[in-house]
Amino acid sequence: MLRPSAFEYHKPETLDQALALLAEFGDEGRPLAGGQSLVPMMNLRLARPQHLVDINDLGLEAIERDGPILRIGALVRHERYLTDPLIGALMPVFQEGVHYIGHPTIRRHGSIGGSLAHADPTAELPLLAVLYDAQIVVRSVNGERRVAAAAFFHGAYMTAIDPGEMIVAVEFPIPQTAAAGAFIEVGERRGDFALAAVAVQLAIDGGRIGTASVACSGAAQHAIRLPELERALIGKPLGEPAPENEIARIAGALKPPGDHAASADYRRALLKTLLTRATATACARAREIS
């Protein structure tokens, strides 16, 4: 039977109490959110925290628009994005990506703070945070800081969070002009973590692509942007097809990791296909709404 090593469970009622406990325990304490990643890791003894600080009752479940920012509380569960009207209206690519996360039970319990802190290399929410240039709001007893998504992920399961800190919210800049995009991924089975995924967001400026954001997972140990492809898309008239030769060249230069699930060559070929399809879909959607 799989059993975690011994730990003490703490259930603070306020954020200040939670931060004080995390400061006291340092390396030996961990926040517990939905438990969908932490509990299996503890059962397998891949994680052995001596103190679990349950952060479920701290009131971190709001999705709020604040001018040009959409602020999502750290404990918002994945399933909520699928029906939230603000997300649907402002960030449809985000909603499209969330559909790929696990299964209904996992989406019901898993939280955005937990997903970003866990930092699985091909998880959808880290990829979306990188796509949208989100800021991750991290707090400790010493105060609050914001970390850009591009600087937050340091490697597989490694982030910029220090002991004693926790994520309290994630801030997404709201697209300020008409925009269209696409999210496509492939996994071994429906609901599995992706082998690779691609997300594209295009902002429309007149009859052209004004700004472009292209992010992928499966190409490195964490989600990355592809600035060369973004530059190739910016300024293109909306009627033009996606630049397939450019995509093939950029995908060919990627150096994805190989592992038990897929070789590096397979992932590179998969990324080329996903980049071609996601870019073509985003361009077609941009044309439709212009």
Ligand X SMILES: Cc1cc2nc3c(=O)[nH]c(=O)nc-3n(C[C@H](O)[C@H](O)[C@H](O)COP(=O)(O)OP(=O)(O)OC[C@H]3O[C@@H](n4cnc5c(N)ncnc54)[C@H](O)[C@@H]3O)c2cc1C
Q: Which is nearer to ligand X, 67 or 143 (CB)?
A: 143
Alpha carbon 225 to its chain centroid, in Å, reads 12
Stretch that binds ligand X, among 112-120, 208-216, 220-228, 232-240 (CB under 6 A): 112-120
Q: Which is nearer to ligand X, 167 or 214 (CB)?
A: 167
Q: Which is nearer to ligand X, 118 or 267 (CB)?
A: 118
Q: Should residue 128 be labelled a site residue for ligand X when binding is judged by CB under 6 A?
A: no
Within 8 A by CB and 6+ apart from 31, the residues are 18, 22, 53, 54, 55, 113, 114, 117, 166
CB atoms within 10 A of CB 9: 9
DSSP string, 124-180: HHHHHHHHTT-EEEEEETTEEEEEEHHHHEEETTEESPPTT-EEEEEEEEPP-S-EE
Q: Should residue 34 be labelled a site residue for ligand X when binding is judged by CB under 6 A?
A: yes
Within 8 A by CB and 6+ apart from 250, the residues are 226, 228, 229, 232, 275
- In whole angstroms, give the CA distance from residue 206 to residue 63: 31
CA distances from 106 to 9, 148, 234, 275 (A): 22, 26, 37, 27
Q: Which is nearer to ligand X, 255 or 260 (CB)?
A: 260
Q: Should residue 115 be labelled a site residue for ligand X when binding is judged by CB under 6 A?
A: yes
Least Cα distance to 197 among 139, 264, 262, 123 occurs for 123
Give the 3-state secondary structure of residue 191: coil
Question: Smallest distance from the beta carbon of 244 to ligand X, in angstroms?
Answer: 29
Question: Smallest distance from the beta carbon of 273 to ligand X, in angstroms?
Answer: 20
CA distances from 172 to 125, 168, 175 (A): 12, 14, 9
Q: Should residue 19 be labelled a site residue for ligand X when binding is judged by CB under 6 A?
A: no
Question: Smallest distance from the beta carbon of 36 to ligand X, in angstroms?
Answer: 3
Q: Should residue 36 be labelled a site residue for ligand X when binding is judged by CB under 6 A?
A: yes
Stretch that binds ligand X, among 31-39, 203-211, 216-224, 244-252 (CB under 6 A): 31-39
Q: Should residue 230 be labelled a site residue for ligand X when binding is judged by CB under 6 A?
A: no
Q: Which is nearer to ligand X, 22 or 179 (CB)?
A: 22
Alpha carbon 5 to its chain centroid, in Å, reads 30
Interface with ligand X in residues 37-66 (CB under 6 A): 37-38, 40, 55
Q: Which is nearer to ligand X, 77 or 272 (CB)?
A: 77
Give the 3-state secondary structure of residue 250: helix
Total interface residues for ligand X by CB under 6 A: 30
Q: Should residue 101 be labelled a site residue for ligand X when binding is judged by CB under 6 A?
A: yes
Stretch that binds ligand X, among 105-113, 201-209, 236-244, 274-282 (CB under 6 A): 105-113
Q: Should residue 12 be labelled a site residue for ligand X when binding is judged by CB under 6 A?
A: no
Binding site for ligand X (CB under 6 A): 30-38, 40, 55, 74, 101-102, 106, 109-111, 113-115, 117-118, 123-125, 161, 166-167, 193
